Amino acid sequence: MTETVYEMSSPGRIGFRFPEPDVPRSDLPAGLTRANLPLPELSELDVVRHFITLSKKNYSVDGGYYPLGSCTMKYNPKINEETARLPGFAFTHPLQPIETTQGSLALMYDLQKNLCEIAGFAGVSLQPAAGAHGELVGVLIIRSYHKSRGDTKRTKILIPDSAHGTNPASSAMSGFEVVPVCTDAKGNVDLDTLRSVCDDTVAGLMLTNPNTLGLFEQNVIDVIKIVHEAGGLIYGDGANMNALLGICRPGDLGIDVMHFNLHKTFSTPHGGGGPGCGPVGVAKNLVEFLPGPIVDITEEGDDETPPLYGWRMPKNSIGRVKAFHGHFGMMVRAATYISMHGPDGLRDIAEMAVLNANYLLAKLRNTYHVPFDRICMHEFVMEGKWADAPDVIALDISKRLMDYNYHPPTNYFPLIVHDALMIEPTETESQQTLDAFADALVKIADEAHTNPELLKTAPHHTPVGRLDEVKAARELVLCCWTPPENP
C-alpha cells in the first residue's frame, strides 16, 4: 500500500515559502482563520513523488492495450490536448460578450455542421455531457414531439434485449414504459416480436447499430419501417459510430434522433466518469425540439467579413440540459480530430476498426465460443466459459488478463450472452499488439483447463488483488486514514 500524504508528513517540513510581503501586513478578519488545521507537512518533491507513484498504479490507453468493448478506448492524439489548451479556447468564459468569443462559437458551429454531415442529420445540439445524457435528451425530444401533435397515447419505448442498460434507464426516467424486444438467432432484432408489440401506444424504439454484439443490424430498414408505420420514432444509440464513419449515415437509414459519444468515436479521453460529450443529432422535423441554446449564424458574412455567430433557442426546445454550453474542451478535441482526419481519414478509421476486430475474432474463434458468429463490425462478443473447465467463468479470464498487463474486455454485457467477453480492439492498435493479446487469451484458455486455480486466484501481479466488486461499489472506502485525535 502507498503511504498517504498524512503518514508521509513530517513536522515543520514545507513545500512552499511565501516571499516577504512588500505591502504592510494586516490581520485576517476574525473567523477566517483556524488555530489548528491538520494539513500534511511535506516538501514539493514528496508531493510530486506521491502523486506520480499513484498515477503509475492507474491503467490507461497510453500505458497499455485497453480492449474494453463498447467503450472505444482508442488512442487520443496529443495534438487534441494542444488545441484544447490554446489560451483562446482554454481561457474563454461562457459569460463573455459574444463579440469576444467568435472563435469558440465558430468551432462549435462547425462541429455541429460536421456531425450533421457525418451522420446525416439536420441539426445537432452539443450540450449533453455523455452518451447516457444524450439518450435522455433524445427520448425527451421524442416525448415532446408526440405531445406537440396532441398524440398523448404513446407511453411505450421499445428496446432490444441486447441494448446498453442506459437505454431502458433513459426511457424510464423520461416517464415511458420499457418494452423489451428479443434478438433472433442471427443476432438481429426479432421482426416477429417487433411487429407483435408495435401499435399506436409506441412512442419509439431505441436501436443500437452496430448492436452490442458488434453486429450490423441486418434488419435495420425493416425495423425502422415497422416502427415508423406504427407512428413511432427511432432513437439511434450512436455509441458504436466508430464502425460506420464515412460508410453509412444513420440519418440516411431513417433514424430520427441519435447521440454521438465524442469521447469514444472522436477520441476525446474518457473513463472514470467523465468529462464526456454526447451531442444529439436530429432529422429535420425535430430540429426545433433540440436542447438549446445552439450556435447559429446571426449575421451572414461575405468575402471580406466573417459571419457573426450567436445563440439561438430552438422554438419548441426541451430546454437547457447542461450548465452553460456543455463540455467545451471535449468539443475542441473532437473538432481537432475530425479536421485532422478529413472525410477519407474518417472512413479509414471505420475500416481499420472493423478489420482489426475481424482479425482478432479469426484468431480466437477456435478457442472461445462465439455465440453469434458472423463477420463482425468494430467489436465482437465471445463466451468466457467451457463445458470441460466448469469452474472458470468470464471474470476469472479477465482477472488473469491483468497478469499479462492487459485491461480486461467488457464482462457480462450484453446480457443475452452468458459469461460475455466483449472485445473492441479499435483501429489504433497494431497487428503485433493484437497478436500478443490473442496469444495471451489462448494461453489463458489453456491455463483454464490445466490449472484453473491460477485463474480463480488472479490477478497475482497488480497493486491490489481480487476485490469484492459489489461491496467495493456499494461501500466505497476512499480513505483508510483517520486523523490522530490530538495532532
Ligand X SMILES: Cc1ncc(COP(=O)(O)O)c(C=O)c1O
Applying CB under 6 A, which residues contact ligand X? 70-71, 130-132, 164, 166, 208, 212, 237, 239, 261, 276, 278
N- to C-terminal Cα separation, the chain: 23
369 Cα distance to chain centroid: 27
Q: In the complex, what is the shortest distance from the CB of residue 81 to ligand X, in angstroms, rounded to a whole number?
A: 20
Closest approach of Cβ 279 to ligand X, in Å? 11
* Residue with Cβ nearer ligand X (271 or 345): 271
From 240, 242, 317, select the one nearest 282 (Cα to Cα). 317
In the complex, the smallest distance separating the C-beta of residue 257 from ligand X, rounded to whole angstroms, is 14
List the one residue out of 29, 64, 364, 420 whose CA is nearest residue 212: 420
| Closer residue to ligand X in complex, CB, 261/336 | 261
* CA–CA gap between residue 259 and residue 164 (Å, rounded): 13
Tell me how far, at minimum, the Cβ of 457 lies from ligand X, in Å: 29
Residue with the shortest CB distance to ligand X: 131
Report the Cα 316 to chain-centroid distance in Å.
Answer: 28
Question: Which CB, 253 or 392, lies closer to ligand X?
Answer: 253
Residue 163 or 230 having the CB closest to ligand X: 163
The grid coordinates of residue 156 equal 411505450
Residue with cell 445563440: 311
Tell me whether residue 241 or residue 458 sits nearer to ligand X (CB atom): 241
Q: What residues pair up with 281 in beta bridges, in sequence order? A: 124, 258
**Closest separation between CB of residue 309 and ligand X, Å?**
27
Measured distance CA(208)–CA(217) in Å, rounded? 8
- 3-state SS assignment for residue 88: helix
Nearer to ligand X, 238 or 459 (CB): 238
The helix or strand, by DSSP H or E, that contains position 411, with its residue range, turns out to be: strand 410-411
CB 208 within 8 A of CB 240: yes
Q: How many CB atoms lie within 10 A of CB 304?
A: 5
Q: How far is the CB of 1 from ligand X (least distance, A)?
A: 31
| Shortest separation between residue 94's beta carbon and ligand X, angstroms | 22
* Residue 379 near residue 398, CB atoms below 8 Å: no
